[in-house]
Amino acid sequence: MKGTSHMKILITGITGFAGSHLAELLLEQGVQVFGTVRPRSRMDNLTDDVQARLDLRECELRDYASVKALLKAIRPDGIFHLAAQSFVPTSWNSPGDTLNNNIMGQLNILESMKDLGLTDTPIQLACSSEEYGMVHEDELPITEETPLRPLSPYAVSKVAQDLMGYQYSMSYGLRCIRTRAFNHEGPRRGDVFVTSNFAQQIVRIEKGHAKPVIRVGNLEAKRDFSDVRDTVRAYWLLLKKGAPGEVYNIASGRSVRIADMLDMLLGMTDAKITVETDPARLRPSDVPVLQGDYSRTKSLTGWEPVIPLEQTLRDILDYWRDLTPPAK
């Protein structure tokens, strides 16, 4: 790959949670950053200062002509494909839309790269630990060789994206680098995701918007939490060093019960809060435990997570505190 200062990098899903953090990291590296947006894209994750330094292009990823025209115009030196319908519960309500959105969007990118001869352009495919699904205790920690047993339509769509990346690398010589990120959290995380949702509920109680009751789903599930700022650093290292067609876990290496993560958040507020289970927050099937082994990523790039979960949770709380005015 070229020297960093002359690189043109494209991020699909740049307005999303991980995309916005990745954009900031790349701007710090002196890279020229392009991003895809849609007319209805929410821009709140990108500050005015960051937006002013980006080259944002309108593109509908589900439309092949739109994608091919974009790639032809930019001819990027590297691509991060983060755009997706990424909320697991939504995939239960609209499985067809999730599968169509996630699979066809990526297919159009890879087909365009093939047709434009972009075989030297590395593309990181943001796959997910949700692909592992039903993992047994004796299979922990999860390596890249752990069987994929997806438990949601979202996870199925990610398995398809993942294996499509392998197939396009093998069949057409594209430089697809598949990453399976475990839960990554931090400021700007959407309020439908568990850590951010709990933090937002706590802040609404602190500011007088809600009664002192936090509503929760399954607290017994165990998750491997990393900070999004660590995760996007791994994406960048793997884009530069990852092997075409290969897959890499990005994880913290430890699993934390959702209940323990909630206790950590409750320990960061002076509000006296009761916890209540909300049946509407329970899923038809939930992955019981995720704990990743990131040794393949570390041995190739030297990457390991450096931001502790306590700091991540405190930063999420502060994010919501800054956004939430006191109740009148």
pLDDT 10s digits, 130-153: 999 999 889 999 999 999 999 999
Residue 23 lies in domain? 4-184+224-250
Task: Looking at the structure, tell me whether residues 172 and 49 fall in a common domain.
Answer: yes
Give domain status of residue 302, yes or no: no
Q: pLDDT tens digit string along 230-276? A: 999 999 999 999 999 999 999 999 999 999 999 999 999 999 999 99
In the structure, what pLDDT confidence band is assigned to residue 3 with cuts at 50, 70 and 90? low
Are residues 20 and 10 part of one domain? yes
Co-location of 149 and 24 in the same domain: yes
Residue 41 in domain: yes
**How many domains are there within the chain?**
2
- Min mean pLDDT across 3-12, 75-84, 116-125, 162-171 is at 3-12
5 pLDDT more than 70: no
pLDDT in tens, 71-115: 999 999 999 999 998 878 788 999 999 999 999 999 999 999 999
Q: Say if 133 falls within a structural domain.
A: yes
Say whether both 112 and 219 belong to one domain.
no
Residue 204 falls within a domain, yes or no? yes
| pLDDT bracket for residue 55 (50, 70, 90) | very high
Region class of 133: left (phi > 0), else alpha (psi between -120 and 50), else beta: left
Both 160 and 197 in one domain: the answer is: no
Confidence class for position 2, pLDDT limits 50, 70, 90: low
Q: What is the pLDDT of residues 206-221, one digit of tens each?
A: 999 999 999 999 899 8
Q: Identify the CATH number of the domain in which residue 280 sits.
A: 3.90.25.10
Give residue 1's pLDDT: 58
**pLDDT one-digit tens code per residue, 216-242:** 998 998 999 999 999 999 999 999 999
**Residue at 66 is within a domain:** yes
The average confidence (pLDDT) of the chain is 95
* pLDDT at residue number 282: 73
Q: Are residues 145 and 174 in the same domain?
A: yes
CATH number at residue 35: 3.40.50.720
The predicted model scores a pTM of 0.95
Q: Are residues 116 and 246 in the same domain?
A: yes
